[in-house]
């Protein structure tokens, strides 16, 4: 039997707008982010699903609760779906990150997948955590449909896993806030049904995982 997952990135936050790295730190949704959360909640209210799982970080929970308000599901938190821990780099802008910790990521060269900023996770550690979390969730959800609310970096790691993209390779992956991403897991294999679907949202510029 198959498991179907709808994986949602949280709505826009104030730090998204300011281009600040959030990681395990947090920033509340903007008014636009609240509207996005309500919009994806409205879309999911038109579908049948069995469980609503969320990262336990505030911005994901805020989004999940907006969905739950429309669908009536209880929100089950799971720390495995947290964003990458950026340690001492959390709260910095992308420009500040590039100056102080250029090894974290780069758009112009392969990134060292094993570099971890002090107090944080490496890209490989994030990838392995996310891979294992989604594999375990899917294998335990045969015959079910599950909605998961998480983060841009988590979705990027899932995308890499599903498509076999090396952890350190530069790859532009569109992941808009509150986007609809649907995957099916059957017989140990993943199939992507939808990715970066924003039909329920006003036109926005997508986040692209670096």
Kindly report the number of other CB atoms within 10 A of residue 40's CB atom: 29
Q: Tokens 């979390």 map to which residue?
A: 133
CB 71 within 8 A of CB 12: no
Structure tokens at 149: 């609310």
Report phi then psi at 26, rounded to 5.
Answer: -150, 160
What is the chain's Cα-based Rg?
16
Known catalytic residue at 83: yes
Q: Is 73 a catalytic residue?
A: no
What's CA 76's distance to the chain center, in Å? 16
Give me the phi and psi of 176, to 5 degrees please: -65, 150
Name which of 139, 120, 150 is nearest 56 in CA terms: 150
Pick the catalytic residue: 12, 83, 90, 209? 83
Given a contact cutoff of 8 angstroms between Cβ atoms, the answer to whether 114 and 122 are in contact is yes
CA proximity to 9, closest of 151, 205, 191? 151
Q: Which residues are known catalytic residues?
A: 10, 83
């Amino acid at each position: 039997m198959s498991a179907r997952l709808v994986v949602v990135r949280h709505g826009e936050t104030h730090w998204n707008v300011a281009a600040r790295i959030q990681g395990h730190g947090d920033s509340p949704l903007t008014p636009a982010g609240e509207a996005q959360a309500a919009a994806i909640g409205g879309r999911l209210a038109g579908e049948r699903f069995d469980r609503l799982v969320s990262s336990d970080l505030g911005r994901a929970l805020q989004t999940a609760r907006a969905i739950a308000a429309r669908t009536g599901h209880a929100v089950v938190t799971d720390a495995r779906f947290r964003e990458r821990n950026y340690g001492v780099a959390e709260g910095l802008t992308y420009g500040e990150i590039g100056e102080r910790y250029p090894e974290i990521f780069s758009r112009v060269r392969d990134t060292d997948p094993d570099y971890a900023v002090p107090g944080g996770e490496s890209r490989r550690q994030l990838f392995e955590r996310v891979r294992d979390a989604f594999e375990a969730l899917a294998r335990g959800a045969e015959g079910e449909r599950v909605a998961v609310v998480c983060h841009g970096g988590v979705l990027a790691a899932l995308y890499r896993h599903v498509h076999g993209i090396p952890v350190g390779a530069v790859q532009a992956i569109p992941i808009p806030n509150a986007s609809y991403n649907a995957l099916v897991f059957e017989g140990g294999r993943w199939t992507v049904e939808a990715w970066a679907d924003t039909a329920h949202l006003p036109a926005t510029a997508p986040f692209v995982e670096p």
